[in-house]
Amino acid sequence: TEAALQVGIARLREGDERAAERNLRCAAGGGSAEAAYRLASLLDVRRPPEARHELGEPVVRRSECEEWYERAAEHGHRRAQVRVGMLAAARGDVVEAARWYREAAEAGSRNGAFNLGLLLAREGSEPEAALWWRRAADAGHGRAALRLALLHTRRGDLVEGQKWASRAVELGPAEVAERAARLRDALRQELSA
C-alpha cells in the first residue's frame, strides 16, 4: 500500500496521471487515507460541472471523487475532512459541513476551524464563530485573524481589532495582509485621535 502510494505520488509529479491514478487506486483500496485523498483530488480536477434537473436543482448523487474524499475523511485525513465539509456546504447541507469542519478542527486543522467559524457566523452564531477563528488564527491562519479584527472593530473593541489586524498582516497571504494593514492603520489613527 505504501509503495503504491509513493509510486502514485511520483507519477503525479511526472505528470503521468493514468499511472498515478492506477497506483493511487491500489493504495486507497488498501486503506491508505493519503492515497484516497490524492485520488479524490485527481478525480476532482476532472469532474464535470454539477448536473442539473430541468428545474435547476442540483442532482444529489455523489461523485466518485466525493466518495474517495469521504473515505479518507473517515480515516482521519484532515484535508479530506475539510474538503468533504466544503462539498457538503456547497450542496447546502450545513449540518454535514459543520460535522466535518468540526472534526478537522478538533484534530488540529486551522482550515477546518476557519471554515467552521464561517459556517457558524453565517448561521448567526458569531460568538462561537469567534472561538473557532481564534483557534485558527492562533495556529497561523491569516484570514481568521482578519475576521477577528473585523469582528472586534464592529463590536467597538478597537484595541483588540488593531491587535488582530496586526496579526493578520504578519500571517498573510498578501491580499489579507493588505486589507489588514489598511484596517490596522485606520484603527491606529482612530485610537490616537
Could you read off the pLDDT of 16-32 as tens digits, one per residue?
999 999 999 999 999 99
Whole-number pLDDT of residue 50? 58
Instruction: Enumerate the domain spans of the chain.
Output: 1-44, 76-136, 140-193
What is the distance between the alpha carbons of residues 161 and 157, in angstroms, rounded to a whole number?
6
**What are the grid coordinates assigned to 100, written together?**
466535518
- Model confidence band, residue 45 (pLDDT cutoffs 50, 70, 90): confident
pLDDT band with cut points at 50, 70 and 90 for residue 54: very low
137/1: higher pLDDT: 137
For residue 99 the three cell numbers come to 460535522
DSSP summary character for residue 87 = H
CATH of 76-136, one of 3.30.70.980, 3.40.50.800, 1.25.40.10, 3.40.50.280: 1.25.40.10
Tell me the whole-structure pTM to 2 decimals: 0.85
Q: Per-residue pLDDT averaged across 107-134, rounded?
A: 97
d(CA 183, CA 190): 10
* pLDDT greater at residue 142 or residue 49: 142
Average pLDDT for residues 178-193, to the nearest whole number? 96
Task: Decide: 107 and 75 in contact? Cβ < 8 Å.
Answer: no
CA atoms of 96 and 126, how far apart (whole Å): 19
Cα three-residue angle 86-88-92, rounded to 5 degrees: 110
